[in-house]
Structure 1
């Protein structure tokens, strides 16, 4: 049915109207009016693999950092289980954000100049190869293993960063205007599944090794296998979707508006049938416990937040959800900061209370700015600049994350100070959100005005 509409759009013209612009409107109207079909759901999975891999990598690296400290920086002369030096920890965590930022900028520009499909498989191969290479970071000294790991993590994140603008743009341009927000949120929600998958992998791998005689005899040597296997697992989702990415046609909007080939756009759309106390615990016991807590957070806070965004983003609207998320997050963060200020020295906040508040913050981060800042940049910029501008927007977020990691690492142990910094960032986000346009259930071309602009500059044809 959609193919029939598109074919009719190309072969039918209207008298005394700018011919090409009018046919473009008909093609794009057919896309906007298309019913939700199976290929939309297939596109969600294929486009979401980059976000899945990103979340998996970010989830795992905190556990890997802990293991690296215990394996390579353990002091046998003291009770300290060992930890990475500050500079090494900053490098391992910060290099991924840096790579993602540069990848978003680089591949975002390429996506607009060379086409989305042409370089889409490049980012996937980069992710798969570097995930495996990260686990094969050979070493002679602690410094060399950290250096090698950072090298491969940079290029892994470079590929992940490239996947951000490409996946976002492709899903936006495939979707119809009625359910575009929900599909965009569904792509981004793959991050939540990546968090959960990482928790399951870490729990399974560490639990398997903990129950072996080898672990009892050589804890350090056994743990050295665990972090490598966990990192290499990150290549599996990328490899599973490689074939389908190779079969994906170029988006019809890019072909029609940038490539200016309406017949090819129709032909491509006809192809859319593709589709405890750490000092008293062993090395892996602490890792196993942390993975369990993080997986619980993913299930109770992260995934429900994504689910609510998918359900509500096309009815409530992007801007309302973003303002609500920023506001409620700020309130909960200030509550935590006030509680930490008022507690007695040496005491701790109730674990249950802290867990509930922390879960609420995660929920409204994902039912809020974490999801909407992914959706909005793909909708408010024109087709010829969409991938580039989404890359710039995403890179700005990663630049903020890099600054945050460094500030938090060197800000000492003052939890209230760190929480107030977060609240301040949220308030800045609220101010900027007020100036954003609402784009729910609008055609991409109506939002950007690019068809109207083309009609104004094209002479009439009768």
Structure 2
């Protein structure tokens, strides 16, 4: 080959797709299954928390409902933890290795999911405070899974199917959202069957069945199961060949590890490694990095930030929008567990028809259409549908037209996932050099979580009371946000069909191009003289 790439890296790029790749997708993907379950199940139980702990709050304007500030902290604590965890574990993934910190994230998620369900106290303040504390650390573990899973999958995959493999890992988020809906719906239904609604309810908004306090705890604690089932296999995965060779400088170990998992013989090329490493030994704060990848980093961070404002606004405000759509009954018409059941059922329907298919459309078409085109399309279509819902809100938010509203709402989820929600995860795992790949993915993902926090503490707070004019305004704001994301996508470049080293310049191609431009410049200067 014309490049200076190591044989072990070429072997990874050209390896046939085999069982080990599938196993890596499942192992990494189960982390995202857990992440999605833990992040989004809170939306399904937050109204039950209000019924349980704030039905007698004399200071509340709406007894039986979490106060706005409490609701924002309950929803947002895990997002703040995710933001911090992404930065910490992303940096550690480059410093200590992907595998060394990969298991820590799962252990943290298992322990904190269980502890979230065991949030006890002598007062509602103590219960909610301990819940938020454990959900922060749950989010901290979830945050680590983003850069590590993406980086590991990108460094294992071959170049012809890399995008599909990374997208498939992320698509497990859709399965997690569906599972969260199923679990919440099943648990609330079981409690309803065991404790049927009283025949006479003088004040439905205050009515809570006996033992309903267990329902939300069970839903949160079940989030520990998939992490527990994945831990052993995650620890059996070897360090990626790219990290072992390029960062640790051990080409022999990299060739041995990757030869074993790919079932082929790989040359070590230890003598070639020193020259290869010298081409790529520059930190993230260097001028060389900024010249080569500065715009890419701005692009991945800005698009993920803008996307998550819209994406998390969609997910976190569903519980407030569904009653307006007439997909669930008003809170005053049902008891606590009935409300939880109806919300879970509506969220599950949207996930099955819009969210879930969008992820897998990306997996199917990302190598054909490319990351760049899918991201542009997704941002544009999300903006279009949100703009229609905002402008035509008064027409759509009626009993007669509720299915039109639900269809448009579901399509925004579809094109979020067959669009930027998937590609913003894929691109940072491909654009940057091995030495800083995990850190750059973490910075991009943390920018996304900053957008999610804007949603949790801003957009969600604005729409919390379900007033139609506020939801209408929020839809138009989100449409504009998506168009900004469309524009920021042009800071990025297409990565399909190329090796990671070719994309980042680690194979020496960018050094050669820079040297050629420099020589041409000197030649022209001499001619001028």
Q: TM-score, normalised by structure 1?
A: 0.89
Runs of 4+ in 1 over 3 A off after TM superposition: 75-81, 213-221, 346-349, 453-456
1:400 to 442, 446, 451: 451
1:223-372 correspondence runs (5 A): 223-272=212-261, 276-340=329-393, 343=395, 350-372=401-423
Give CA-to-partner distance per residue, 1:24-69, whole Å, 9 cap, x none. 5222111100000101111111111221112112221012211110
Conserved? CA contact 2:86–2:146, under 8 Å = yes
Which residue in 2 is equivalent to 1:447? 503
Distance 1:227 1:409 in 2: 21
Answering whether residue 160 of structure 2 is matched by residue 109 of structure 1, we say no
* Structure 2 unaligned regions, length at least 5: 200-206, 264-328, 513-529
Distance 2:57 2:89 in 1: 46
Give the RMSD, CA atoms, in angstroms.
2.4
Shift in Å, 1:404: 1.9
Conserved? CA contact 2:375–2:420, under 8 Å = yes
Give CA-to-partner distance per residue, 1:335-365, whole Å, 9 cap, x none. 111102x549x96671110011011111000
1:167-246 correspondence runs (5 A): 167-213=149-195, 219-246=208-235
Distance 1:434 1:325 in 2: 14
**SS of corresponding position for 2:55:** coil
Conserved? CA contact 1:121–1:246, under 8 Å = yes
Shift in Å, 1:271: 4.0
Answering whether residue 24 of structure 2 is matched by residue 43 of structure 1, we say yes
Distance 1:186 1:450 in 2: 26
**SS of corresponding position for 2:367:** coil
Which residue in 1 is equivalent to 2:427? 376
Shift in Å, 1:215: 7.3
Shift in Å, 1:450: 1.1
Shift in Å, 1:427: 1.2
Give CA-to-partner distance per residue, 1:208-233, whole Å, 9 cap, x none. 11111587699444110000011000
1:419 to 472, 475, 482: 475
Q: How many residues align?
A: 434
**SS of corresponding position for 2:368:** coil
Distance 1:368 1:375 in 2: 11
- After TM superposition, the structure 1 stretch with the greater mean CA deviation from structure 2, 253-262 or 161-170, is 253-262
Distance 1:215 1:228 in 2: 20
Distance 1:99 1:307 in 2: 28
1:451-462 correspondence runs (5 A): 451-452=507-508
Conserved? CA contact 1:86–1:409, under 8 Å = no
Distance 1:319 1:213 in 2: 52
Shift in Å, 1:171: 0.4
Change (3 A) 1:215 1:312: same
Change (3 A) 1:136 1:117: same
Which residue in 2 is equivalent to 1:3? none
Which residue in 2 is equivalent to 1:6? none
- After TM superposition, the structure 1 stretch with the greater mean CA deviation from structure 2, 387-396 or 399-408, is 399-408
Change (3 A) 1:415 1:79: closer
1:389 to 440, 447, 472: 440
Give CA-to-partner distance per residue, 1:140-179, whole Å, 9 cap, x none. 1111111000000000000000010000000000000000
Distance 1:297 1:347 in 2: 18
Distance 2:436 2:475 in 1: 36
Which residue in 2 is equivalent to 1:437? 493
1:23-34 correspondence runs (5 A): 24-34=5-15
Distance 2:68 2:231 in 1: 37
**SS of corresponding position for 2:379:** helix
* Structure 1 unaligned regions, length at least 5: 1-13, 457-462
